[in-house]
Amino acid sequence: MQQLLYGVAYYDEYMPHERLDEDIRMMKAAGINLVRIAESTWSTHEPQNGVFDFSSVDRVLDAMHEAGIHVIVGTPTYAVPTWMVKEHPDILAETPNGPGRYGARQIMDIANPTYLFFAERIIRKLIGRVCGHPAVIGYQVDNETKHYHTSGPNVQYRFVKYMKEKFGTVERLNQEFGLDYWSNRINSWEDFPSVVGTINGSLGAEFARFQRQLVTEFLAWQASIVNEYKRPDQFVTHNFDYGWKDGSYGVQPDVDHFSAAAALDIAGVDIYHPSQDLLTGKEISYCGDSARSLKGMNYFVLETQAQAFPHWTPYPGQLRLQAFSHLASGANMVEYWHWHSIHNSIETYWKGLLSHDFSSNPTYEEAATIGRDFARLSPKLINLKKKNRAAVLVSNDALTALHWFPIHGRKVSYNDIVRLMYDQLYEMNIGCDILHPDSDSFEQYDLILVPTLYAASDELLSRLNLYVENGGHIVYTFKSGFANGHVKVRTDVQPGFISKVCGVQYSQFVEPNSVSLKGDLLGVDAEHSGVNFWMELLTPTTAEVLAWYDHPHWGAYAAITENHYGRGTAIYIGCLISAEVMGKVLERVCRSAGLWSPDQELQFPLIVKSGTNNAGRTVRYYFNYSEEPKSFSYPHGDGMELLADRPVHRGERIELDRWCFVIIEESADTK
Amino acid sequence: MQQLLYGVAYYDEYMPHERLDEDIRMMKAAGINLVRIAESTWSTHEPQNGVFDFSSVDRVLDAMHEAGIHVIVGTPTYAVPTWMVKEHPDILAETPNGPGRYGARQIMDIANPTYLFFAERIIRKLIGRVCGHPAVIGYQVDNETKHYHTSGPNVQYRFVKYMKEKFGTVERLNQEFGLDYWSNRINSWEDFPSVVGTINGSLGAEFARFQRQLVTEFLAWQASIVNEYKRPDQFVTHNFDYGWKDGSYGVQPDVDHFSAAAALDIAGVDIYHPSQDLLTGKEISYCGDSARSLKGMNYFVLETQAQAFPHWTPYPGQLRLQAFSHLASGANMVEYWHWHSIHNSIETYWKGLLSHDFSSNPTYEEAATIGRDFARLSPKLINLKKKNRAAVLVSNDALTALHWFPIHGRKVSYNDIVRLMYDQLYEMNIGCDILHPDSDSFEQYDLILVPTLYAASDELLSRLNLYVENGGHIVYTFKSGFANGHVKVRTDVQPGFISKVCGVQYSQFVEPNSVSLKGDLLGVDAEHSGVNFWMELLTPTTAEVLAWYDHPHWGAYAAITENHYGRGTAIYIGCLISAEVMGKVLERVCRSAGLWSPDQELQFPLIVKSGTNNAGRTVRYYFNYSEEPKSFSYPHGDGMELLADRPVHRGERIELDRWCFVIIEESADTK
Amino acid sequence: MQQLLYGVAYYDEYMPHERLDEDIRMMKAAGINLVRIAESTWSTHEPQNGVFDFSSVDRVLDAMHEAGIHVIVGTPTYAVPTWMVKEHPDILAETPNGPGRYGARQIMDIANPTYLFFAERIIRKLIGRVCGHPAVIGYQVDNETKHYHTSGPNVQYRFVKYMKEKFGTVERLNQEFGLDYWSNRINSWEDFPSVVGTINGSLGAEFARFQRQLVTEFLAWQASIVNEYKRPDQFVTHNFDYGWKDGSYGVQPDVDHFSAAAALDIAGVDIYHPSQDLLTGKEISYCGDSARSLKGMNYFVLETQAQAFPHWTPYPGQLRLQAFSHLASGANMVEYWHWHSIHNSIETYWKGLLSHDFSSNPTYEEAATIGRDFARLSPKLINLKKKNRAAVLVSNDALTALHWFPIHGRKVSYNDIVRLMYDQLYEMNIGCDILHPDSDSFEQYDLILVPTLYAASDELLSRLNLYVENGGHIVYTFKSGFANGHVKVRTDVQPGFISKVCGVQYSQFVEPNSVSLKGDLLGVDAEHSGVNFWMELLTPTTAEVLAWYDHPHWGAYAAITENHYGRGTAIYIGCLISAEVMGKVLERVCRSAGLWSPDQELQFPLIVKSGTNNAGRTVRYYFNYSEEPKSFSYPHGDGMELLADRPVHRGERIELDRWCFVIIEESADTK
């Protein structure tokens, strides 16, 4: 990338009246240099089966080019036209809720050949038409692709073949999945039932993995078609989205982002998050770290909120804070969904930069200041590189398995635990990467956090054990290692494969009722010492106990332990603890792993993010994520504050107004 | 009408043993002079396809006639016989929940020709048989008719024709409904998908309007058949029911009462409401005002509760209070559903005047006092005429649109806002009418309240603007005018078409979080100043600000404004306020519109209702809707208290025991 | 029975690796002398249609026999193999939720002949093979059988024939079920609709009774097949389970335990219950009393919890307390579900005696102490006989009817009322039986409690009236007698048939709102005097009023009355009262009925259970169901404390540690 991209999703097709010139004028005024088009409007571009009309694409490309605005063209395959469903109703995905109904997007069976035929044709027509256009800098394949729970007969049929391939014999499958239970044995491949009604979590999790593989294959298939057309200076990307809880929250259950990203040139993501008093930057940081880790490089924020929902309308300053937070995590693009607020249908209240009246408004005006700063500071801020010493290992398999074997009626999800750990790192300003279980780069980290790795193969746990033995620091939460890669509970004393490295064992676990932590190795105060929803009755073998349970019957068992193994250290947290206690555990391990630096003397809501820019210099962002003014003493080498373009000296007191930030480039090269 | 009607729904067919003579004896003892029969018992009257048995009708008619009790005969079409469903399963309505199941009433497709064939035949057989009987004073067509969400293929098919008729071209439809969004375009009428799964609120709202039209047509069709038989001295009515929330609550979502009432001679309604400590009279008043407004004349209460649910069993005095409250709103009939409590099936605990034991009971005994008073006072109380200067404008379209674009996850419904406004008028004893958007009589009112008119045509808003310009007072709540008649958000600065008249504008809105009102023009106290769920960031252009938001970021925006425009005044309320603040706003506008009179010095729970009787004299009801005795000083001209038949003088102190009332007829003619 | 049985459900088929010898070693070490096998693993024993493999059964039988462990063999019919569903999808039960899906157990139509064909074949193959094996002491037919809501066309078809048989003419059916209502009449048997959608509670309740009859017939059919094979020294049993609410809670809605038990030699039950701080022994006692009453003899606990759920993991001592509580209620067997924790599928967290690691653990170790005590004390504790003077009458029909006509939106269920009465008896240490409405032994009791007998035939109520007349004491709660056996509300003054015996009448009832009891005959304190959800406005005719309602309008009505009738006494409770007030009512009637003894001076959490052992001596258990130590003065004849084998004297102070107990055998014979 040569330039920070500041963009909007643009839908000329949705306009209630002719707007193109006026929109471009307003975009230019706001520093917008990118639009994404075409990904939502198949029925406009192919109004009838085999009849194509790309006039709105053509005119937007030409106008944007003339204005010097780049364009990403999306393949319009995530929302199917009415004629297709009327002509071929079977393209709708059959799901556990029954046959599909036309209306929403993302309702088709991505394994259906009829759908694939039409999808391929429109992709070739559209991309073949636009690929030579000078405005087009790249392509987005599909949009927030998932499997939409497709599970009809054709999918079940392919799943049986997948299982045959994977397990070879029904005998092995029955044994590994425990199918004797409740007479669920499959004694002949012909007997394989639809898994829609299964009560076997191993089978259910394997089907979910198969469905995620459908997504990976679908995106790779689209990318391979687009690659036939794309110019060397163009890229293919995709906008991954995340598990949702009041916004982008954690691991996407239905997609393996890492494997699906392999077919892309650049990873893209959609990040939405709470705002106003609830704006913390955590989602921007988590999703950004995740996106950057997908391909180990800078990424695109293909969608994020402008005004969005009524309860997200940003306070003054927040839009700026958000935009630069994306850059600070390594984004090279910040693109809003979307330019204008839509006047009909289900996303009418998901507002864009412009309100429905197309006029200027406070949010648009704030965006214009961002556009100016992006343009001016692009050379300094683009391509920020990071070398983090901490990582958080996340796993689709663990997420799915924990969904099947939930904690306390799903009161606590896998992503809750991921975020419990991640958010504490964030609050103490420890930069980190997001690790996939298949990664071969464990050794490059001094610390790996492992949230509740409920299902994991022997192979993965062995590598994690070796990591500790070789000097790594690791923190596991409860239930890690409990089941193997097929979600079969291990038959060893728990925590199974990692028991020795962690220096603990248990064979019983309970739900806590008025249980708290005792033991002062962590300095836990009473208010935050409660234990909720899950606790394992740990007995240390070689580990030191950091905290015990305070309970009339379970008081002899350990709750949190630390074990030195080989040249490394493993902390095991046997219960669901408060954010405060998690913070203390992570501070302890960060200090022990040598990760403690002056940046850690600052704490949320003062957030520090840093990296190295194109010039090889360290750039540090200091964000005030709060409603109150904050100040801090700048602890690093002399440099320039880039927004105000003024020198900053080590030890200088820096004031940050509410929701404000500074960007300091150190003068000395980092090398 | 020559006589106040005091009635019960009567089901000879449901009796566990022969009761007719004894029932009539008890009815006469209670002053019952009307029964409604036959509307629920198709399977009794047509036990097999084409086999008819009206013996229970005949014997009841004869016995009632002999006893001097009038009869309304209902067409028995809202509940279909078993044989019909067994023979023609397709008469059951297919709904978004799937195909119908036999069991409940109101499960058929009112657009199904097989059903219509059978319905017409039974109507002709029944009405043809009874129309000459001297006991029969009128007919009820069907019962609480709605569309039962019928939406199967035949209904979709007709809907497409309706759309073709309305929009002419798909191009216009696509444009107005924004169907480019998410590839929803319909590029050929043949492609029109079932709208059951639509996510387009414009389409959904249009389908709901189409479904309401089916109801209007169905009732008109029934009335036209009955009209072929009815004598000049007989009437056709129907019992409309209301949106439900712990009772009859507000606008009926599934029927346009005003258009459906056109085919009737007299409008009828069913009114159910909370009781015991929760009895306020508000539902009686709202539904009564609505019913009276349907045809601008007196109406029937065809159903209201006797004992009903266990939690509604009236306290001593409440049944009387309720009955006379109906009269005070303009009813000429009070009919209980129903005479006796049923011994089987789903409404066993919806008790009638008699309990299951058919004996006398306190509620029946209280009814007997009502019957005596009705008979005695009928000449004074019948045909009460009202000339209200205030009105509340309600709109099916706005209700449906707000259901599609809900406030805070439907925590607040359209009817909640209707009632927030209406109930405050009620509490300050301002009589009002209910206005339909198509009404051409806006000008006869000094004040029109407009609850959240979310979807409204240019034409309607223009007429409202003109109303203000010509001297009217209007109060809008938030979101009014936001979308046009096709639920397309307006592209002007908001509140769109009414912005100029209201003297405000906004382009942003948020959900309040710890926001209250500030500014003392309304004298709001802190306890009730909270703002909930919705707030628009208003900027006054010409309006005076009555209240601002109290918030660190939104404090510069107005919450409630008042604008003088032309010769009139428009108040705009940009947020959801408490009942107390609404009361203050409405008091202000009522004073300003000259609606303040001595009756307004009394407040709920002392309720005043008035009108002019056949003799041209003013009759005033004073109700004590509370558990405590109340008193007041009578401020009007000398008259007679009709219940006690004693003179009352201006300025006299009148005592009302709990749940009691007086009726004072002024001695002087009003003319 | 010659020996207390201490057992586990054992699944060799589920083992992740060869375990048999080691399992048996560990069982022997824990005193396990019984295993139940084979009831869950049809797909293992018949891997393909007509292909049988009983090798796991054979080897387990041989090994158990060699170890001296008894075996119960279950018929494996409650969970069907994959091949069967693939070959004959119609064996899955069609329910009100639609067609069945393969996956879970108990999803088939127990009336489907294809299923019955396969079931009979596997039963004959399995039982024919094992019946001669010396390890086999008996059989369990099926497992927790219910009707699984089967209601497809074949079931409807049979139901119509059942109705024809029962009612003879449609006219009688229409009359008794009130089908004129809402045009529901069935004027020809051919018109009989599926009752899945019915809104007629009489019809719904009759269908539920028909479905329960399917269960009775199914179990009798299985037992008749097994009886062809069983040796004289073998028995047939079945594990009935109970209505569920956080554990086994009350009457099973879907099975008539009494009629289904007729086909069995010995009744068996599954009992699960809250644990840890919530352990009270109430479920053990209720279900045990129920099981003992089924055939008037000792019973088997075929399943109860070992570790089970995380929130049920027993505190130290609780497993022992539970095991001996079962014996104290008359069980001759305590069997855990299950031996080992399962490594896959839906019951992974329903843990057995062993955790997933198959190692010893605290629960297993405590079980070993139970095994030793059972073996040692078997001659003293087996075959405990009871002669209770109190009984609680429970009724499937009343339960179903109350489900159709619920109290306050099902906030209070029939079982809640059963338990409100039962639990108070338990807390005051009054032993009781559970009575079926068809029982002919009412006269053997001094006291019968009748929780809300909402639907009851004239015949049943007549017998209860006669019981009082002849000197019995009875306590009814509200709504008893309200409807007849066809759930038709009685047309007499309420409480109908029992009005005279109870000396009260009412025709109105309400839901209480801030109502409490007044009148001090019961000595109710203000804190517990609240009345909730339901109250009848009782007028005493001959009864004495024990409590009145405290309310501004309902204060003249009685809430609880007592009437002397004939030689007996009837208490009628017209409202839902607190447990405390119920306790006072029951104490009053127990004293009056002469049931008060020294054991009643102790109260929960000190629980006393007693009976007569094989030697004819009285054995008394004293349990401390609490977290605190308790002590009491032993009030009975001198004897031996059996656990410690030490003498105990009348008046001796006995200390019980938390969750501990003693067992005292009186030295003198009871005769």
Report CA dihedral (C2, C7, C11, C12) to the nearest 10 degrees.
-70
Contact between chains at B342 and C181 (C-beta distance less than 8 A): yes
Range 473-502 of C in CB contact (< 8 A) with B: 487-494
Q: Percent of chain A, pLDDT > 70?
A: 100
All chains having 3 or more CB pairs closer than 8 angstroms to chain B: A, C
Please give the average per-residue pLDDT across C276-304, as a whole number.
98
For domain C390-596, which architecture applies? 3-Layer(aba) Sandwich (3.40)
Residue B400 has φ and ψ, to the nearest 5°, of -60, -45
Is B426 an interface residue toward C (CB < 8 Å)?
no
- pLDDT at C1 > cutoff 90: no
Is C47 an interface residue toward A (CB < 8 Å)?
yes
Q: How far apart are CA A511 and CA A532, in angstroms?
A: 7
- pLDDT at C363 > cutoff 80: yes
Is B10 an interface residue toward C (CB < 8 Å)?
no
Q: Within 10 Å of residue B154's Cβ, how many Cβ atoms?
A: 15
Nearest to B47 among C182, C185, C534 (CB): C185
Residue of A nearest to C363 (CA): A508
CA-angle at B532, arms to B527 and B536, nearest 5°: 120
- Minimum distance, in Å, between the CA of residue B408 and any CA atom of chain A: 9
Q: How far apart are CA C479 and CA C457, in angstroms?
A: 14
Whether the link from the prior residue into A649 is cis, omega within 30° of 0, is: no
Mean pLDDT of chain B: 97
Contact between chains at C180 and B43 (C-beta distance less than 8 A): yes
Is A347 an interface residue toward B (CB < 8 Å)?
yes
Range 528-547 of C in CB contact (< 8 A) with B: 534
Please give the average per-residue pLDDT across A400-421, as a whole number.
96
Residue A455, classed as helix, strand or coil, is: strand
Is A47 an interface residue toward B (CB < 8 Å)?
yes
Residue of A nearest to C309 (CA): A510
Per-residue pLDDT at A668 = 83
User: A611-667, pLDDT tens digit by residue?
Assistant: 999 999 999 999 999 999 999 999 999 999 999 999 999 999 999 999 999 999 999
Is B317 an interface residue toward C (CB < 8 Å)?
no
Per-residue pLDDT at C2 = 86
User: B530-572, pLDDT tens digit by residue?
Assistant: 999 999 999 999 999 999 999 999 999 999 999 999 999 999 9
- pLDDT at C258 > cutoff 80: yes
Nearest to C310 among A184, A195, A511 (CB): A511
Q: How far apart are CA C481 and CA B624, in angstroms?
A: 39
Contacts of A255 (CB under 8 A, 6+ apart): A145, A146, A147, A212, A215, A216, A240, A396
CA-angle at B150, arms to B146 and B155, nearest 5°: 120
Contact between chains at A86 and B186 (C-beta distance less than 8 A): no
Q: How far apart are CA A181 and CA A203, in angstroms?
A: 12
Per-residue pLDDT at A669 = 64
Per-residue pLDDT at C669 = 65
- Minimum distance, in Å, between the CA of residue C414 and any CA atom of chain B: 17
Residue C24, classed as helix, strand or coil, is: helix
Confidence of residue B669 (pLDDT cuts 50, 70, 90): low
- pLDDT at A549 > cutoff 70: yes
Q: How far apart are CA A333 and CA A119, in angstroms?
A: 28
Is A344 an interface residue toward B (CB < 8 Å)?
yes
Contacts of A50 in chain B (CB under 8 A): none
Nearest to A310 among B487, B511, B553 (CB): B511
Contact between chains at A510 and C276 (C-beta distance less than 8 A): yes
- pLDDT at B1 > cutoff 80: no
Instruction: Name the token pair of A373.
Output: 């700063």
Contacts of A80 in chain B (CB under 8 A): 183
Confidence of residue C302 (pLDDT cuts 50, 70, 90): very high
Q: How far apart are CA A391 and CA A290, in angstroms?
A: 10
Contact between chains at C193 and B85 (C-beta distance less than 8 A): yes
User: B14-49, pLDDT tens digit by residue?
Assistant: 999 999 999 999 999 999 999 999 999 999 999 999
Q: How far apart are CA B663 and CA C138, in angstroms?
A: 83
Q: Percent of chain C, pLDDT > 70?
A: 100
Beta strands in A431-557 (DSSP E): 432-435, 447-450, 473-477, 504-505, 509-510, 516-518, 532-536, 539-540, 544-550
Q: How far apart are CA A55 and CA B5, in angstroms?
A: 69
- Minimum distance, in Å, between the CA of residue B172 and any CA atom of chain A: 11
Q: Percent of chain B, pLDDT > 70?
A: 100
- Minimum distance, in Å, between the CA of residue B583 and any CA atom of chain C: 29
User: A153-169, pLDDT tens digit by residue?
Assistant: 999 999 999 999 999 99
Q: Between B and C, how many residue pairs show a Cβ–Cβ distance under 8 A?
A: 148
Contact between chains at C86 and A190 (C-beta distance less than 8 A): yes
Query: Residue C615 belongs to what H/E stretch?
Result: none
Please give the average per-residue pLDDT across C348-369, as a whole number.
98
Domain boundaries, chain A: 5-145+216-381, 390-596, 602-666
Please give the average per-residue pLDDT across C15-44, as a whole number.
98
The verdict on pTM exceeding 0.95 is yes
Query: Residue B137 belongs to what H/E stretch?
Result: strand B136-140
The ipTM is: 0.96
Amino acid of residue C149: H
Is C424 an interface residue toward B (CB < 8 Å)?
no
Is B262 an interface residue toward C (CB < 8 Å)?
no
Please give the average per-residue pLDDT across B418-444, as a whole number.
97
Is B53 an interface residue toward C (CB < 8 Å)?
no
Contacts of A202 in chain C (CB under 8 A): 344-345
Quick one: C5-145+216-381 is in which CATH superfamily? Glycosidases (3.20.20.80)
- pLDDT at B483 > cutoff 70: yes
Contact between chains at A200 and C40 (C-beta distance less than 8 A): no
Contacts of B115 in chain C (CB under 8 A): none
Residue C403, classed as helix, strand or coil, is: helix
Burial class (CB in 10 A: 0-12, 13-18, 19+), C4: buried
Contacts of A349 in chain B (CB under 8 A): 405
Contact between chains at A187 and C102 (C-beta distance less than 8 A): no
Q: Within 10 Å of residue B224's Cβ, how many Cβ atoms?
A: 12
Nearest to B193 among A86, A311, A359 (CB): A86
- Minimum distance, in Å, between the CA of residue C625 and any CA atom of chain A: 15
Nearest to A187 among C13, C47, C80 (CB): C47
Is A49 an interface residue toward B (CB < 8 Å)?
no
- Minimum distance, in Å, between the CA of residue B88 and any CA atom of chain C: 11
Is C102 an interface residue toward A (CB < 8 Å)?
yes
Contacts of C182 in chain B (CB under 8 A): 40, 79, 104-105, 345-346
- As a CATH number, domain B602-666 is 2.60.40.1180
Range 156-175 of B in CB contact (< 8 A) with C: none
Instruction: Name the token pair of A342.
Output: 């839509």
- pLDDT at C523 > cutoff 90: no
Please give the average per-residue pLDDT across C349-368, as a whole number.
98
Per-residue pLDDT at A70 = 98
Residue of C nearest to A186 (CA): C82
User: A435-457, pLDDT tens digit by residue?
Assistant: 999 999 999 999 999 999 999 99
- Minimum distance, in Å, between the CA of residue C218 and any CA atom of chain B: 29
Contact between chains at B183 and A40 (C-beta distance less than 8 A): yes
Q: How far apart are CA B100 and CA B88, in angstroms?
A: 12
Mutate to test the interface with B, among C181, C207, C458, C497 (most CBs of B within 10 A): C181
Contact between chains at C187 and B48 (C-beta distance less than 8 A): yes
Mutate to test the interface with B, among A18, A307, A345, A361 (most CBs of B within 10 A): A345
Beta strands in C512-579 (DSSP E): 516-518, 532-536, 539-540, 544-550, 558-565, 568-573, 575-576
